[in-house]
Every structure is written in C-alpha cells, then in structure tokens.
Amino acid sequence: MNCRCLAIALVLAVQMAGSSPVAAEPAPGIATAHPYAAHVADAARRFGIPQDWIWAVMRIESNGERRAVSSAGAMGLMQIMPATWANLRARYRLGSDPFDPRDNIMAGAAYLREMHDRYGNAAAMLAAYNAGPGRYEQYLSRGRPLPRETRAYLTKLTAVTGNSGYATLAAAPPPDPLAWRRARLFPARADGIPATEDAVTDEASDSSPTAPPGAVEPPANGLFVSLSGQ
C-alpha cells in the first residue's frame, strides 16, 4: 500500500512539474516595461498603426533620446520638424513641449499614419517621413533621386517595410515622350508678350483666344492682299 501511494505521488509530482508555466523572458521587441511603452501603445491604438512601426522609427530617428535635436532642427524621440510639430500639435490637441515623450510619440504616430494614408505603402510612408512629402513627391513626379540618407534609412527599417526596403517604393514615372507637344513653340518677345499661345495641348479650348494688345491681326478679307486688277 505504501509503495502504491508513493508511486501515485511520484506520478502526480511529475505531471504538476510538466504543466506549470515557465517564467518566460519578454520577447525581443516587446517593451512592456519600457518607460515609453504606454505612450507607444496609446499612439498605436489612436492612429491605428502597429506598435512595431513606432518603436522602429524611434530607434532609428533618436535612439530613444527624448532631447535629441538633429542638425536640421528635428526634435525629440520621433524627430519632428518644428513646422510639422506646430501643425500636428494644433490638429491633435497636443501639449506645448515638443520634447514631451507622450506628445512627441503621438505626433510621430499621427504623421506616420498621414503619410501612409497619402502614399499607400510603408516604404513610401517612411521615405516621406524622413525626406519630407514635398521631396518624396519630386521623386514620384520628376524622378529626382531620394537623398542618400533616406535610402539608408529605408534599408535600416526593414522591420517596417519587410525585406524589400527601398525597392518597394513606387517607381518614378519615365520621362514623358509627348512633353514637346506641351512646350512653347516660340520664345517670348522682348516686350514680354508671348509669340504664340501658352502651350499646345491635347485638349481643345472651348473659347476663342483673344489677340494681345498690339498684335497684328489678319485683314478681314483674307490672309493675302489682292493683286491690283484682280
């Protein structure tokens, strides 16, 4: 009987040991104990973006230095430019201190969401965040290369863009082969009056052009002067 009880006790002990949870280390990248964790979670929830995006951008932009200021003047954890900060602060009712961790993270998350909504993918979002939307749109419309810093930035942020980085950006459009059709045919005259209409377009105008002051109009009876006697 004693042997049987001992055997049962051993079996129960083994089962209990196997089923008890092991105290797991926090998974890499899950910063639940980080001083900014609550701010990141709130910002991600408010603007509907992954927390990982915010952590990744913060790490590359400032390395977690709340008082960081770049040579261009970008401020705080998410490196927001002063004019962008002023705009975001007013629209999202943020505080007056751009270095406040909560408000800076909120501003950065808001800006990431706006850039994603505007351009439609994570790589374009990050390029516009880093270089500015105006500079990114020059890349799209004119094929102007992005700054080297921005290309390196995208390569570092593969956690957000996937492993494709810079290659996932929308391709810049090729040069327009019909651009010559919209160019001026003749240069402007010395008096500043165009020699022809402003441009040649594929669309017809629904109003007749008005001759500029001083322009020579053809005779009412035709383009050619009649010969005498005819």
Q: What is the pLDDT of residues 145-204, one digit of tens each?
A: 999 999 999 999 987 877 655 544 544 444 445 544 554 444 444 444 443 333 333 333
pLDDT at 158: 84
Q: What's the pLDDT at 221?
A: 45
pTM above 0.85, yes or no: no
Are 138 and 146 in contact by the 8 Å Cβ rule? The answer is no
Could you tell me which CATH class the domain 36-177 is placed in? mainly alpha
**Domain definitions of the chain by residue range:** 36-177
Helices and strands in the chain, H and E counts: 9, 0
Over residues 47-61, mean pLDDT: 95
pLDDT at 159: 77
| Among 25, 61, 65, 149, the one annotated catalytic | 61
Task: Note the Cα 69 to chain centre separation in Å.
Answer: 21
Report, as an integer, the average pLDDT of 58-76: 96
What share of the chain in percent tops pLDDT 90?
54
| pLDDT category of residue 57 using cuts at 50, 70 and 90 | very high
- Quick check: 14 pLDDT over 60? no
* Chain-centroid distance, C-alpha 2: 74
Indicate if the pLDDT at residue 142 is higher than 80: yes
Phi, psi of 76 (to 5 degrees): 80, -170
* 146 neighbors 127 (Cβ within 8 angstroms): yes
Confidence band of 123 (pLDDT split at 50, 70, 90): very high
* Predicted confidence band of residue 18 (pLDDT cuts 50, 70, 90): very low
Amino acid, single-letter form, for residue 143: G
- Give yes or no: 65 in active site: no
- What is the DSSP secondary structure assignment for residue 75, as one 8-state letter? B
Q: Tell me the percentage of the chain whose pLDDT exceeds 70.
A: 57
Q: What is the pLDDT of residues 77-115, one digit of tens each?
A: 999 999 999 999 999 999 999 999 999 999 999 999 999
Residue 8, pLDDT above cutoff 80: no
In this predicted structure, what is the pLDDT of residue 163?
A: 63
